[in-house]
Amino acid sequence: MTATGYEPLCTLKPVADGLWLIDGPPVLHRRIPYPTRATVVRLASGDLWVHSPTALGDSLRRELEPEGPVAHLVAPNAAHVTHLPAWRAAWPDARVWAAPEADVDGAEALRPDGAEPAWDGQLDQIVVRAGPKLSEAAFFHRPSRTLILTDLIEAHETRHHKPWVRPLIWFAGTDDNAAHMRPRYRWSLRAADKARLADDIEVLLGWGPRRLILGHGRSYDGDARRVLEYAFRKILNARRWERAYDDHRRKAGEEEGAG
């Protein structure tokens, strides 16, 4: 198994009470090995909720079984569906949920705004409209104040990559010091897309996240708001300027009317 820098792989790693990570083996994307990550939540019912399932082996399955029945499998976007068949075969009674653009046979569609009844009050959710090339379901684990994302932003630690890969990550702006969307997502955004994305990022910030779990690269403990605001600073600043300008015009109109 190729090293990713997040070993041990394919094992449960506790993050908070009822919250685990699973670092999976890398996948190749344009010859670059991408580390993968799943997130597991134990719901109040005792059921396990698995986000973006990674490779499943016998050892991992044995680790999961005493923690609770796997009842929910979540495909947060169109790209993170590769390992779903293995998990569905292992837990045939699990409900499968998919974001709008994810093509998964028999999956239930995730609500675009508002949690499913099975995890309402425990996990908040929204389908982030990140332009024509990406639509992604984002989740917020309330008890631990953890925001769970997949491809919306990436934070690759270049020290875990071969020297020839590092400049590509730096150029893309997806190293862990920058944590941005991939260029092909950023560059596809039109004015209307940016406005919708700004709306959705404000929802994520409004949840008050402390911890941030990403599908690719490092995660952040305590820096979630800073990372989000930096990654989307351009569209957020544009939104703030628009609001300030509208507020100025409104006040000017009120003063003119009063005069």
pLDDT, tens digit, for every residue of 106-140? 999 999 999 999 999 999 999 999 998 899 999 99
pLDDT in tens, 54-65: 999 999 999 999
How far apart (Å, rounded) are the C-alpha atoms in residues 154 and 215?
7
Residue 233: name the closest of 205, 209, 207, 213 by CA.
205
43: left (phi over 0), alpha (psi -120 to 50) or beta: beta
Query: Domains of the chain by range and CATH?
Result: 12-258 (3.60.15.10)
**pLDDT tens digits, residue range 185-238?**
998 999 999 999 999 999 999 999 999 999 999 999 999 999 999 999 999 998
The DSSP-derived string for 163-181 is TTTHHHHHHHT-BTTT-B-
Q: Which residues of 185-211 are buried (b: 16+ CB within 10 A; e: fewer)?
A: bbeebeeebbebbbebbeebbebebeb
Q: What is the pTM of this model?
A: 0.91
Determine phi and psi for 12, rounding to 5 degrees.
-70, 135
